[in-house]
Amino acid sequence: MLAHVRRGRRLGTYDFIDVIEPESRCGWQVKSTKSRTPVTWKRAKIPNREKLIEESIDSPKGLKKLGKAIIDFCNDHVRSSIKTFNLDQIGYARLIVFETGKITYFERLLCTRQNPQLFNAADFEWRWSVQKPTLIKEQLSALHGFYRHTGQKWWAWHGRGENQLHFSGEQNWWPPQGDPHSICFQLPSAKMDLDAFVTLLEEAAKKT
């Protein structure tokens, strides 16, 4: 839908961006989840992960080093897309489904070629969670990253399992209620065709 509206194209790759519009040199990352589901950044395969994990056990210095490697991975992921697709800016398109059936959609600018860094490693502190009694890989102890200025958990890296990197701090990117750059509407009670859905969004946009 975003590619259609922006007259761009959907990539279908593992790059940081999902949609690109070459003429404006703009790309978008697109995410859609329930409101209480953390966004999955991607599988973060950190180089030398086993060594870094071992060094992080009972070592504040090792934890900091591993955490920095994760943040560097995220920032490098962004820079790679900017270089590969010759972009001037990257936007974020987000669809949030709330338990009440309310849906919020918004777009916002994330970064530019001049300022491609999304995160600063110095803003986070890290610690391992307590391992849960299960054999499921994703339930092994995860490395949690906390935003130093608020104490809020932003990251969970499952480096002992499938390398999933969950980004719960993404909620800090959400706009306040009534923000003019967002659209809110109720989840349709039945299936509808594309034209009807576009009409629904147009009506919702007028009320915002």
Q: Each residue's pLDDT tens digit in the chain (208 positions)?
A: 899 889 999 998 889 999 999 999 999 999 999 999 999 998 999 999 999 999 999 899 999 999 999 999 999 999 999 999 999 999 999 999 999 989 999 999 999 999 999 999 999 999 999 876 665 545 788 999 999 999 999 999 999 888 999 999 999 999 988 788 899 988 888 888 888 888 888 888 777 6
Residues 6+ apart with CB under 8 A from 50: none
The pLDDT of residue 19 is 97
The pLDDT of residue 135 is 57
The pLDDT of residue 31 is 95
The pLDDT of residue 190 is 86
The pLDDT of residue 62 is 96
Query: β-strands 26-34, 89-97: how paired?
Result: parallel
Q: How many Å separate Cα 195 from the centre of its chain? A: 29
Regarding pTM above 0.85, the answer is yes
Residue in the structure block whose two tokens are 């194209």: 9
Query: Rg of the chain over CA atoms, in angstroms?
Result: 19
